[in-house]
Every structure is written in structure tokens, then in C-alpha cells.
Chains A and B, each alone.
Chain A
Amino acid sequence: MFDYIRNFFVNLGTSWTNWLNSFLPEPAVTVVNFLVIGIILVMMPVIATLTLTWMERKVIGRIQNRIGPNRVGPWGIFQAIADAVKMLVKEDIVPDGADRPVFNLAPILIAAGAALLWAVIPFGRGMVGADLNIGVIYLVAVGSITTVAVIMAGWASNNKFALIGAFRVVAQLLSYEVPMILSIAAVALIAGTMSTMGVVEAQQVPFALLMPVAFIAYFVAGSAEVGRAPFDLLEADSEIVAGYFVEYSGLKFGWFYIAEYGNLFAISAIATTLFLGGWRGPFSHEVPALGPLYFIIKTILVVFLLMWIRGTWPRFRIDQMLGFAWKVLVPATLANLLWVAVILKLPVPQLVQWVLMLGGNLLIIFIAATMLGRAAKRYAEAHNLNPASSAV
């Protein structure tokens, strides 16, 4: 019994397959299993939306010294369900002059993009939808579907705010894709593989400790990719109403909402997988059933960090945001990539390599921080700002 629990999830899968085998032919079992895994993975953004919206409102409420939702159910945990019901019964409006097919396709595509990400995220040892050996590039490539969907929504809405929002998305996603790929490339370099399972297996030490630069860059680029504060210029409500999805209502708006929280959860899960050791943790080798638990805990911690930033950070201006990507993140991640590549070729023990990587990374962070500080000071002097009141 203990052995069964120890590797609970994999054993559950085996039992399920055996049970199916007892009355279905072999190909049908494969099809059924694919369908079940597919449905579970597609449900991930929905589950993320239902849980994370509540969590976000509570966390931000606390940061802003409020209680947050507290009416529906104990501690307001059914607030998300109430919101979902409200959304479902709303009228579905298509604006005049909208490009109808494109307008209707965009929400579906954006939700599909959010769901596709989950195919390669390993929840535990042997628990992954598809162990692609190009998993980490797949993650970036799937992200481009989101870009396309956002542009479609912005264009088809026939609304200038939506179009400006879409413009901002293009600029933002394209700029932040570069540091994201560069930081992921460093991970693939150390791990010696691009499969997400392989990356987790290779992390005897979480890569965040070896390459803080890559981790921070991924974290920042990730929050920019999902368009969360402080990078929420694409839907900055005080400037362009709600950006690309301003014309959407009802269930179609719901798809955007689901995609947003699905992507938030996915970005955190990817950060966990690539930099925080994924499902690794104390005793995770002896008791593989602990793996998914560690994975979820780490992911939720990253999500919390993102919410914390959202609750406390003011929004960037668009030129500042693009400048930050091109002038800070890209050089830093490039330097990190080169440094890691050189270190990996040095004929020294692994421990020395690790120390050297960390040292080089800290140096990069120091240089970047110093230059940023100087730039901020110059900016403050040029604009006659009091440095004390304008922390950049």
C-alpha cells in the first residue's frame, strides 16, 4: 500500500490503463488516454482562472489594506464562480463594422494558446503531456500564437483603443521575446537538453541559484509576455480603456480572462520548471508522489510574487518599457549566455563551475544596477526631479 502511495500518480495512471485494457482494444486505450490527458491539460487555464482570480483579489486586497472578496462562500472563495455565472448570462455584442469571423476567432485562439503551453510542463517524474525534446523552444513558439490572437482581436474590433492596444502588444511581445529566448538558451546550455523533463532532471542545483540574471530576465520577460503590471500597457485602463479586448463582452471576454490567468499560471510553472528545480525537492526521488506537490507550491509562490509586484509597482511608460528590454535585459542575458558557455568548457570540477557562474552573474547584476542607477540620476537631473521622490 505504501509503495502505491509513494508513486501515487504514476501508479494511478497504470491502474487506469490496466482497467481500460480489460475491456478496450489497445489502440482505443491509447486514444482514450490521449483524450483524458488532453482534457486535463486544457482544463488547466480554467482551473487557474477560478483559483487565481480569488487569490489575486485577496492578495491585492491585503496589500491595499482591504479585505477583498468575502461575500460568496467562506472567505469569498466562490467569488470566481459567481463572476463566471455573471459573465455567461451577459449579452454577446459584436461592434458595428467589426471583422466578424476574425473577431470571433481571436478569443478561441488566445485560449488555445494558453492551453497548449501545458503540454510540455512536467508536474512530476514521468508526468508530462508530451516529453518533446524541443520542449523549451515549443514554449516560446506557442507564445507567438497569443501575439497573433491579440492582433486579431485588436484589428477586428474596429476601435482605435483596441488597435493601439494591439500595437503596444506587438512591440512589447517582440521585444521581450528576445531576452526570454536568451535566458532559456542559457538553461538549455547547462542542462544539455531542450526537453523540459531533461531540464528538471539536470537541476541538481536550481538554475536560479546558478544564473540569477537569466532567472530575473525570464521573470521580467514572462510578466511582460502575459501583460501584467507593471507591463500592463496593453490594457492600461486609464490610457486606452482596456486595450485590445475593449469591445468584447460575455463569454468571449471570459476567454480573454481565462487566457490571462492561464498564461499567468503557465509562466510561473515554466519559471518553476526551468529555474526553480520543477518537481525536485527533499525526498522527491524516494517518494515521487511529492513531486507534483513541490511543483504546485513553487508555482504558487512565483504567482504570489507576480501579484505582489502588481500590487506595489506603478506602470511603465511604453518607451521606458521597450528601452528596458533592449538596453538592460538583452545585454545582460547575452553576457550571461556567453559567460555560461565559456564556463562550461573550462576543465574544472562542477562545483567550481557553479561558483564561477554565480560570480559572473552577480557581477552582471552589479554592472546593470549601477548603470541603471546612473541613468536614473541623469534623467532626474535633466528633468529637475528630486531624486528622493523619483525612484526608478
Chain B
Amino acid sequence: MQQLMFIVISAVTLISAALVVTTRSLFRSALWLILTFFGIAGLFILLHAEFLAIAQILIYVGAISTLIIFAIMLSRGVMDPNARRFNDQWGLVAGFAAVFFVLLTAIMTRVPWQTTMAPAPMAAEAIQLLGRELVTPYAIPFEVASVLLVVAMIGAIIVARERES
């Protein structure tokens, strides 16, 4: 059952990801991106990371995709529907990406991973554990991340602000 679900979910994820980078209409691309994010959330649930799955939907679908769609709508004036999707080096890039994928797969299937199929902690305990680790050993990265968010927010406001001339 697990394997079947994995195959279905990852097929959805990968196909929609491929459509994200190839669809002509950017708006549709963004919609495929949302489906990809849902697929990734599904993979997280298969991996027993329920909190991450919900955070994924909340942040990627709820915030980042919405921002991307907003940017697409704001810059739609210059979007020629028949404009070229890719730049001149796309063939080279596609080859490079394919080679890189084959390389990664070759490495990953050859490494003897020391996997333990220890049962995942109960979701409720996992969330408590996660919260505790975030504020004890990872307290400084956590604070740095919040500073980063504040800086990014202020920066985004200043950069995108319309200047009155």
C-alpha cells in the first residue's frame, strides 16, 4: 500500500513539476507549482512528518504561491502569450540536468545507506520534540532565521515600494 501510494504521489509531483518548467502560460505554471507542493506534502505524510506537511501547505501554497501569482498578475502587461519560454541555452541545460540526474541516481543507488526502520515517534510527541529542539540546540539558528525573515520583509517592502517622483 505504501509503495503504491508513493508511486502515485511522486508521479503526480514529478509530472506537475515538469509542467511547471515547460508550460507556456506562467499562470498555469504557478497552478502546477501548487499541485507539486501538494504532492510534496503527501510525500512528507508518507514519511510521517505531518507537521512539515501542513507547514508545507501553509507556507508554500498559502503564501509563496500566492505571492508568485501576485507577481505574475502585476507584470502581466508585458507577457506576450506567444513569447519564447526558454532562452537559447535550454538544450544545453536540459542535457546537463539529465546527466546530473543520472549521476545522482547512480551514486544514490550504489551507496549502502545504513537505514534503520525504527518506528517514527507518535505525531504528538514528534511536534513537542521538534519544538523543544528548535529552542534548545537550534536556538541560535532559530533566532537568526527570524532576523532573516524580518530583514527580508523590510527589504521586500523597501524594494517593491512605489517611489513618488
Cβ B123 vs Cβ A177 within 8 A = no
Which of these, B58, B69, B127, contacts A151 with CB under 8 Å?
B69
Q: A102-B28, A133-B124, A137-B55 are in contact. Are A147 and B70 (CB under 8 A)?
A: no
Q: A102-B28, A140-B58 are in contact. Are A148 and B50 (CB under 8 A)?
A: no
Contacts of B34 in A (CB 8 A): 148
Closest Cβ of chain B to A248, distance in Å, is: 18
Per the bound structure, the CA–CA distance linking A148 and B65 in Å amounts to 8
| B18 interface hit (Cβ, 8 Å) | no
Cβ B66 vs Cβ A148 within 8 A = yes
Cβ B73 vs Cβ A163 within 8 A = yes
* Residue of B with least CB distance to A144: B62
Identify whether the interface residues of B are mostly helix, strand, loop, or mixed.
helix
Which of these, A102, A143, A152, contacts B62 with CB under 8 Å?
A143
| B61 interface hit (Cβ, 8 Å) | yes
Docked complex: B51-90 residues within 8 A CB-CB of A: 51, 54-55, 57-58, 61-63, 65-66, 69-70, 73
| B6 interface hit (Cβ, 8 Å) | no
Per the bound structure, the CA–CA distance linking A143 and B54 in Å amounts to 12
Per the bound structure, the CA–CA distance linking A197 and B67 in Å amounts to 33
Q: A137-B55, A163-B73, A170-B69 are in contact. Are A132 and B50 (CB under 8 A)?
A: yes
| A155 interface hit (Cβ, 8 Å) | yes
Closest Cβ of chain A to B12, distance in Å, is: 15
* Residue of B with least CB distance to A136: B54
Per the bound structure, the CA–CA distance linking A144 and B67 in Å amounts to 12
Cβ A141 vs Cβ B127 within 8 A = no
Cβ A193 vs Cβ B65 within 8 A = no
| B31 interface hit (Cβ, 8 Å) | yes
Contacts of A163 in B (CB 8 A): 73
Proximity string of chain A (126-137) to chain B, C-beta cutoff 8 Å, 1 when within and 0 when not:
000000111001
Cβ B27 vs Cβ A134 within 8 A = no
Per the bound structure, the CA–CA distance linking A132 and B27 in Å amounts to 33
Cβ B63 vs Cβ A155 within 8 A = no
| A354 interface hit (Cβ, 8 Å) | no
| A119 interface hit (Cβ, 8 Å) | no
Closest Cβ of chain B to A331, distance in Å, is: 15
Which one of B54, B57, B123 has the highest number of Cβ atoms from chain A below 10 Å of its Cβ? B54
Cβ B58 vs Cβ A133 within 8 A = no
Proximity string of chain A (255-289) to chain B, C-beta cutoff 8 Å, 1 when within and 0 when not:
00000000000000000000000000000000000
A-B pairs with beta carbons under 8 Å apart, 28 shown: A99-B25, A102-B27, A102-B28, A132-B50, A133-B50, A134-B50, A134-B51, A137-B54, A140-B62, A141-B54, A141-B57, A141-B58, A144-B58, A144-B61, A144-B63, A145-B61, A147-B66, A148-B65, A151-B66, A151-B69, A152-B31, A155-B27, A163-B73, A166-B73, A173-B66, A193-B124, A194-B127, A195-B124
Other 13 A-B pairs with CB < 8 A, given A99-B27, A99-B28, A145-B61: A99-B25, A102-B31, A134-B51, A134-B123, A141-B58, A141-B61, A141-B62, A144-B62, A151-B69, A155-B73, A166-B73, A170-B69, A194-B127
